[in-house]
Structure 1
């Protein structure tokens, strides 16, 4: 895997992770508004308008923070198969990076989520080692919990959000050092 210090674009063995653009609105609506991708979202899928607003917010995060969620592409086809990456987050008063991803269901089970997540985590470890990466999952979202475990994260506690209770995951070496 190659990457640069600037996270506008990262490449993995099979994926291109690039900054989201207004041209990604159709893909964002398709991925984010799909009821299957929101199976564990207590709020349910966003409307097309809400998904478009989410994409616009992600663009603002990039402009303001220099980091955000990427469009995840298959380089050969240019197909956007999902979205994911890191965003500045505050969890129980501590600044962290939140790891997020959503992929089109037809691309599930191919290892794309862990591959995208590893690239994001590796970038954060090199460029911002002072800011821990957390993964927040719904208590019933066992597929995302398995991804967290594959990435070396451990369940370190629970928290409450506006949507309800969540599980908090951190890298095991980070939890051992704390």
Structure 2
């Protein structure tokens, strides 16, 4: 039986299960056009963000895993969202690794720090599901994070939002 990762602490972050109390932070971060610079459909509206948050909570209820609220451990400030979600890729079950950090916190290594914790949990608790990163074609910052984590571009796919790149780990490396 795997343990649900309701809360994980890293050196600088508290990763906690996303909840209704995160709506204000989610609207601030997720509706910012800068955080969706590479998303062809653009940022969600506040109403769509509320629906996203409810959907993410549903993943926790149904799958026992989902996206976390990313808060600074020292202050509790919410800086983004990210984590793992069940996903089918080419008909095979995977865990999709997602990260969306507020623009004011870019370039500080928070996405890789969260991602390493998520990967370590997945390796331990869900080793039957490979972790993948799916990113937009032009999202070079996200692609750099994927490569920093030991993932490599292994193919392309099409989602409802358009063409994407698929990254998979080539080795079980979490080197920074």
Give TM-score scaled by structure 2 length.
0.95
Q: 1:173: Cα distance to partner? A: 2.2
Alpha-carbon distance in structure 1 between the residues aligned to 2:46 and 2:4: 30
1:160 counterpart (133, 158, 161): 158
Q: Which residue of structure 1 lines up, in the alignment, with residue 121 of structure 2?
A: 123
What do the CA deviations read for 1:39-62 (whole angstroms, capped 9, x no partner)? 011110000000011001111110
Preserved contact between residue 12 and residue 74 of structure 2 (Cα < 8 Å) = no
Which TM-score applies when normalising by structure 1?
Answer: 0.94
CA distance in 1, matches of 2:50, 2:77: 18
CA-CA distance at 1:75 after TM superposition: 1.6
Name the residue aligned to 1:108: 106
Tell whether 2:70 aligns with 1:72: yes
For structure 2, the 5+ residue unaligned runs are none
Structure 2 residue corresponding to 1:52, chosen from 31, 46, 50:
50
Q: 1:85 Cα shift?
A: 0.1
5+ long unaligned stretches in structure 1 = none
- Whole-Å separation in 1 of the counterparts to 2:14 and 2:111: 13
- Residue of structure 2 aligned with 1:15, choices 13, 16, 30: 13
List aligned pairs for 1:85-100, cutoff 5 A.
85-100=83-98
Using the TM superposition, name which of 74-83 and 148-157 deviates more: 74-83
- Consecutive aligned runs of 4 or more in structure 1 exceeding 6 Å deviation: none
* Residues 96, 132 of structure 1: 8 Å contact kept: yes
Partners of 1:117 and 1:166 in 2: how far apart?
A: 19
Query: Superposition RMSD on alpha carbons, in Å?
Result: 1.1
- CA shift, 1:163, in A, is 1.0
- How many residues are paired up? 171
- Give the secondary structure class of the aligned counterpart of 1:160: strand
- Aligned-pair CA distance for 1:6: 2.7
